[in-house]
């Protein structure tokens, strides 16, 4: 369990990577680059211990709880930080003590290649580790071009595959936010099989951290919109004085408060050690709300900003694009609704 002082320390350390005043010069400069993020900044994050957050102390990690992890993710989301910290943490979580010092130090970037289809949380599909070597395809590998190696998952476990190994090819497609997803194709790749540690829990934790990141994105987009409502005038009055816009802003504030409460409740429950079914039900509830709220705030932010909200030059558009990119990561709202509905008695809780 993480106490409040530790959580605030995590937030303070994260704010060092989120410039005050909403300066997004670094973020704009990294968009549509080859890696999509800055490896030097990634190493600094590793030096802060952020890749050890969920690794138990007995395995050389910090052993902090999900509340600390979510607090970190929310601050990074508020600054649109593009470094693939959540995905790298998923790889560390799955590998456990065998992850290696270079990975934890950030000098070797290992990203998980776990997803074969568009939606869901299935680690097993897409590849096989037959006698002829590892073959198949994994898709939607976040910021894949910046990886030194991939943790490829399958029904038999996992394999650590070097990015430049024989039989490995990578095709990347750009995303709205200026990053990319990679399709990793494997043709008879020689790799040693690795046992993965509690994959279902690891994926749920990544989904919850992504929900917290989306919370940070949405809260900042909302604050930017409120600022605009205060300064933009029509008929010699700030448009924020118009009752219809006040009602819409109030609804957004309420939805954000519900999302923040949901993230905190779910993180606290995971830290308390709830059973697997309850954990998954809580994560699905929060991920649905995070995706829906982030997209609602994004749409309203664009509309309330008027024509300028549609332009790439205005910063609010960057938050809209980030919400669009991340809303479906680690399971879309539709997937998590189906998963939650299938969980009895938790669906009625």
Q: Are residues 190 and 315 in the same domain?
A: no
Q: Are residues 135 and 254 in the same domain?
A: no
Q: Is residue 328 part of a domain?
A: yes
Please give the residue range of the domain that contains residue 302.
199-348
Q: Are residues 208 and 337 in the same domain?
A: yes
Q: What angle do CA 265, 270, 273 make, to 5 degrees?
A: 130
Q: Are residues 210 and 330 in the same domain?
A: yes
Which residues, 6 or more positions from 38, have their beta carbon under 8 angstroms from its beta carbon?
26, 30, 83
Domain boundary, last residue among 146, 163, 194? 194
Domain boundary, last residue among 194, 216, 251? 194
Q: Are residues 234 and 324 in the same domain?
A: yes
Q: Are residues 78 and 123 in the same domain?
A: no
Residue 20: what pLDDT?
72
Q: Is residue 307 part of a domain?
A: yes
Residue 22: what pLDDT?
74
Q: Is residue 55 part of a domain?
A: yes
Q: Are residues 120 and 235 in the same domain?
A: no
Q: Are residues 96 and 124 in the same domain?
A: no
Q: Is residue 52 part of a domain?
A: yes
Q: Are residues 169 and 212 in the same domain?
A: no
pLDDT bin (cut points 50, 70, 90) of residue 173 is very high
Q: Are residues 214 and 326 in the same domain?
A: yes
pLDDT bin (cut points 50, 70, 90) of residue 97 is confident
Residue 118: what pLDDT?
87
Q: Are residues 226 and 327 in the same domain?
A: yes
Residue 7: what pLDDT?
87
| Closest alpha carbon to 104 in 62, 76, 64, 143 | 62
Q: Is residue 82 part of a domain?
A: yes
Number of domains in the chain: 3
Q: Is residue 211 part of a domain?
A: yes
Mean pLDDT for the chain overall:
90
Strands 110-113 and 149-154, sheet pairing: parallel
Q: Is residue 106 part of a domain?
A: no
Q: How far is 43 from 64, CA to CA, in rounded Å? A: 20
Residue 240: what pLDDT?
52
Domain boundary, last residue among 144, 166, 194? 194
Q: Is residue 278 part of a domain?
A: yes
Local structure of 155: helix, strand or coil? coil
| pLDDT tens for each residue of 15-68 | 888 877 778 999 999 999 999 999 999 999 999 999 998 888 887 778 889 999
**Is the CB of residue 274 less than 8 Å from the CB of residue 283?**
no
Q: For position 214, which CATH number holds?
A: 1.20.140.10
Q: For position 127, which CATH number holds?
A: 2.40.110.10
Strand-pairing partners, residue 110, are: 149
Q: Are residues 121 and 50 in the same domain?
A: no
């Amino acid at each position: 369990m993480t106490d409040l002082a530790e959580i605030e320390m995590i937030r303070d350390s994260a704010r060092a990577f989120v410039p005050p005043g909403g300066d997004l010069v670094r973020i704009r400069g990294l968009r549509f680059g080859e890696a999509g993020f800055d490896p030097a900044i990634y190493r600094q994050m590793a030096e802060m211990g952020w890749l050890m957050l969920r690794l138990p102390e007995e395995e050389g990690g910090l052993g902090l709880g999900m509340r600390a992890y979510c607090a970190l993710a929310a601050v990074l989301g508020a600054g649109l930080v593009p470094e693939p910290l959540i995905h790298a943490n998923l790889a560390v979580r799955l590998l456990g003590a065998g992850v290696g010092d270079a990975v934890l130090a950030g000098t070797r970037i290992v990203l998980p290649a776990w997803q074969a289809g568009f939606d869901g949380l299935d680690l097993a599909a897409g590849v096989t580790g037959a006698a002829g070597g590892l073959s198949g395809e994994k898709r939607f590998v976040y910021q894949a071009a910046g990886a030194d190696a991939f943790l490829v998952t399958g029904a038999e476990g996992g394999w650590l595959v070097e990015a430049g190994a024989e039989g490995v090819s990578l095709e990347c497609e750009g995303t709205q936010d200026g990053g990319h997803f990679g399709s990793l194709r494997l043709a008879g790749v020689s790799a040693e099989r690795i046992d993965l540690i509690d994959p279902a829990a690891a994926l749920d934790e990544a989904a919850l951290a992504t929900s917290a990141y989306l919370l940070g994105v949405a809260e900042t987009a909302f604050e930017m919109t409120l600022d605009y409502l205060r300064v933009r005038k029509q008929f010699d009055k700030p448009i924020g004085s118009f009752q219809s816009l006040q009602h819409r802003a109030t609804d957004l504030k309420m939805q954000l408060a519900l999302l923040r409460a949901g993230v905190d409740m779910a993180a606290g429950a995971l830290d308390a050690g709830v059973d697997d079914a309850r954990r998954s039900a809580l994560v699905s509830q929060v991920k649905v709300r995070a995706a829906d709220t982030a997209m609602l705030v994004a749409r309203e932010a664009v509309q309330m900003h008027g024509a300028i909200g549609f332009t790439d030059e205005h910063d609010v558009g960057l938050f809209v694009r980030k919400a669009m990119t991340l809303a479906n990561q680690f399971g879309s709202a539709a997937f998590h609704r189906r998963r939650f509905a299938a969980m009895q008695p938790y669906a009625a809780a």
